[in-house]
Structure 1
């Protein structure tokens, strides 16, 4: 039944993008009232948060009323036990539990029940199908193969049959696997696709010819976009979101900005506690409208964006975010000159639950430090394991030091960059 729900959700989502703006707003308001009521009566966290603010569910009728609700920070989510944030009677054995990527240096966990996971995947599929993904495409995701799921019955029949390519493989192995699979669609981190593109250009390869490339999970700069487009002879499409609420926005072929998935998530742009005007830069705040297992209301995600009142020339009614302003982590540069994607080390570190925050700093070509803040004491064995795994992936070319600290310094904007390299590269 779950798989059939996914297709039903996808069908509805593809219709929603053509609704009138007034219809989309009413759909948002209806879903907002439902999730607020559910969170108040079924989660300890939001019941207490609403009562402390002196509000009840009936006080929140429309999006305009949301300013009455206090923000939810990542710090709060980390500090409270999962049981207080999850809804009553949620069976974790029937849920999908996803550690966040830790791109902010603050790994968390997101919990989706079956219905929320199906809806989330439908919204994600919409963004790709509207940009060329076909039902029976050979489709490759370059990511963490350790967390990939077993294929469902319809995937075994060749429908949305996604294969995961391990980001931990060498670039040469990844390229050879792509040549072997010959995918029509590739999804990956911009940093990793940049390395693959450089390899393709340096070796004058012509055997990988996807119809579609989607980038996600990291900031995409214009130089990286141009390099990937040139190497694969495509016009890539950038997607964005976060693990906690999944897909929240996406480009279409017009590239006028990012269409916001307002039928699944309310996206606010806030500065100094107030919603900002179109054209201004604001901190992104999400309210997920469909995850009843782990409600997140006015959740500060840590990214910055610029909304616009312009409508896309494609004709869709989904509103636009003009641009995204986020973190740009550095590549690690080995003494041999080889570049390592910042995402790889983040994926290695996020497996250690006791780590609250981290920052990797490459001081010299052959030396780096992993500074970590922990929730409880880590055993010397775990610290040694982190160091050895990092050194192993870095081909033992770099001496890795793991340091415990009480606090990690933020940048001038207040953001925490998870990877900083003080080594320059001609490919950066």
Structure 2
């Protein structure tokens, strides 16, 4: 990749898109960057984006992993190949990247997928190298992992990610709580770079669910139950309280009684037999106000 290579960016909530000023549009034109708004991606809009990508033939893709997966799925469903566009890399950020998403994007565009971790207030915090290491941009950022009391944890221990940013224009962020959970690496990366590593990023604290008995588990414990069902096109799990969880599903065809019962049984096995599991089949699951997609939301965490 080089400066001036054509880039397609799938990004932005309605608020951010309204903030695109004339200077930004001129910069994007000079850098050959095309913005494809990632909010409210209807079938018609997805078809238009696929057409644009085939016409633009960008060298790099940048955006939410969920947005790139939606484009990949739409293209596959309509037998439109995207693997001959000449894309060199798909850079994803702003959401947790699941391995299934990485595989889908890589297969659809025939390119490697590079993950990035950052925050709206802290900027980019870490980037993934070709060897898979998530390198912290330690030249101007200090990343700590702390426990519930704010005390630093040693490398390898999982806790809250806090960031001190020393290169802000006005005043440095000191121990800014990102709301994410992760751990620092315990060994150097095979690539040879000396920058410290984030060993893993497990997601936001609200991506974790709490069972009736107090057990805290990652949302993946429930995601796997619905994601593998062939008729499920989209999902969102919302833990409203310890005794009620809603499951929003976009299905084609619709669920039969046996599948519904299996979902309820699987959720109750993890959350508690007395938990009310409400399955709601919907036509579409809207993005958050930020333009991102949240697959698990806990209002208990």
TM range (shorter): 0.5 to 0.7
Cα drift, residue 264 of structure 1: 2.0
Q: Answer yes or no: is the 8 Å Cα contact 2:163–2:175 preserved in 1.
A: yes
Residue 35 (structure 2) aligned to one of 149, 158, 164: 164
**Cα distance change on mapping 1:235 and 1:293 into 2, 3 Å:** same
Cα drift, residue 187 of structure 1: 0.5
Partner of 1:238, secondary structure, is strand
Higher Cα radius of gyration = 1
Residue 240 (structure 1) aligned to one of 91, 96, 117: 117
Q: Answer yes or no: is the 8 Å Cα contact 1:287–1:298 preserved in 2.
A: yes
**Cα distance change on mapping 1:203 and 1:274 into 2, 3 Å:** same
Cα drift, residue 310 of structure 1: 1.4
Please name the residue that 2:18 is paired with: 146
State the superposition RMSD in angstroms.
3.1
**When the two structures are superposed, what TM-score results if normalisation uses the length of structure 2?**
0.64
Please name the residue that 1:292 is paired with: 169
Is 1:209 aligned with 2:86?
Answer: yes
Q: Answer yes or no: is the 8 Å Cα contact 1:151–1:161 preserved in 2.
A: no
**Partner Cα distance (1:368, 1:213) in 2:** 26
Cα drift, residue 304 of structure 1: 0.9
Cα drift, residue 244 of structure 1: 0.5
Partner of 1:204, secondary structure, is coil
- Higher strand proportion, which one? 2
Unaligned runs of 5+ in 1: 1-132, 339-361, 371-385, 387-407, 415-428
For this pair of structures, how many residues does the alignment match?
Answer: 220
**Partner Cα distance (2:28, 2:100) in 1:** 38
Is 1:224 aligned with 2:113?
Answer: no
Residue 182 (structure 1) aligned to one of 57, 64, 67: 57
Cα drift, residue 276 of structure 1: 1.1
Cα drift, residue 202 of structure 1: 2.0
**Cα distance change on mapping 1:290 and 1:333 into 2, 3 Å:** same
Cα drift, residue 263 of structure 1: 1.2
Cα drift, residue 172 of structure 1: 1.3
**Cα distance change on mapping 1:206 and 1:194 into 2, 3 Å:** same
**Partner Cα distance (2:116, 2:95) in 1:** 9
**Cα distance change on mapping 1:149 and 1:212 into 2, 3 Å:** farther
Unaligned runs of 5+ in 2: 208-218, 220-234, 237-247, 255-277, 290-296
Is 1:191 aligned with 2:63?
Answer: no
Please name the residue that 1:365 is paired with: 281
**Cα distance change on mapping 1:150 and 1:363 into 2, 3 Å:** farther
**Cα distance change on mapping 1:267 and 1:249 into 2, 3 Å:** same
Cα drift, residue 229 of structure 1: 0.8
**Cα distance change on mapping 1:318 and 1:155 into 2, 3 Å:** same
**When the two structures are superposed, what TM-score results if normalisation uses the length of structure 1?**
0.46
Deviations 1:54-77 (A, max 9, x none): xxxxxxxxxxxxxxxxxxxxxxxx
**Partner Cα distance (1:205, 1:369) in 2:** 24
Please name the residue that 1:306 is paired with: 183
Considering Cα pairs closer than 8 Å and 6+ residues apart, tell me whether 1 or 2 has the greater RCO. Answer: 1
**Cα distance change on mapping 1:156 and 1:302 into 2, 3 Å:** closer
**Cα distance change on mapping 1:236 and 1:288 into 2, 3 Å:** same
Residue 299 (structure 2) aligned to one of 396, 410, 415: 410
Q: Write the mapping of 1:110-125 to structure 2, written as runs, cut at 5 A.
A: none
Cα drift, residue 226 of structure 1: 0.8
**Cα distance change on mapping 1:288 and 1:156 into 2, 3 Å:** closer
Moved more, 246-255 or 303-312: 303-312
Q: Write the mapping of 1:256-275 to structure 2, written as runs, cut at 5 A.
A: 257-272=133-148, 273-275=150-152
Cα drift, residue 334 of structure 1: 4.7
Please name the residue that 2:130 is paired with: 253
Partner of 2:97, secondary structure, is coil
Cα drift, residue 228 of structure 1: 0.8
Partner of 1:297, secondary structure, is strand
